[in-house]
Amino acid sequence: MRRTDKEITDRKLIDSIIHKSLACRIAICEDRMPYVVPLAFGYDGKNIYLHSAKEGKKIEILKGNPRICFEFATDCEVIATSKACAFTMRYQSVIGFGAAHFLEDIEEKIAGLRIIMRQYTDKLVELTGDDLKKITVIRVDIEQITGKRSGFNRNA
């Protein structure tokens, strides 16, 4: 990372940024053409879980190339000044790399969906066999992860 003064190395802070995020953006690639998509997600401290319809562009791309770059961002705000080139951003972000795995085992799918649901609600959500047939659950095994923040007090 070029700006080591903005780097986050504390894994607890990285995890808190992920848990505070509303969406996970994944970047995938097919035939040297990048594709970025925001998704609902879950995070268990080791893996990211995503769900999707069984068909579509991202599923086709991931089946051919399971390599993923992912991104989370929170607390984003423009900090304006009187000079255009002095504008800056306040933010906290996490970027990482991993590999996507399609979960086929029903118990693994249910566990992944429960992790996703915990990101958004404390309520126990019912999962039916019909629900499980309609969706794909993807586990992203995190291989590399880093955090960055700007516009925050370093001691905060």
List the chain domain ranges. 4-150
Q: What is the pTM of this model?
A: 0.89
pLDDT (average), residues 119-140 = 86
- Residue 154 pLDDT: 55
For the chain, what percent of residues have pLDDT higher than 70? 95
- Residue 124 pLDDT: 77
Which DSSP letter does residue 122 get? S
Phi, psi of 61 (to 5 degrees): -65, -45
Asked if residue 1 has pLDDT above 70, the reply is: no
Residues β-bridged to residue 52: 136
Asked if residue 29 has pLDDT above 80, the reply is: yes
pLDDT (average), residues 54-61 = 95
Under the banding of pLDDT at 50, 70 and 90, the label for residue 8 is confident
Which ranges of 30-99 would DSSP assign to H, the alpha helix?
57-64
The topology (CATH level 3) of 4-150 is Pnp Oxidase; Chain A (2.30.110)
Phi, psi of 132 (to 5 degrees): -65, -30
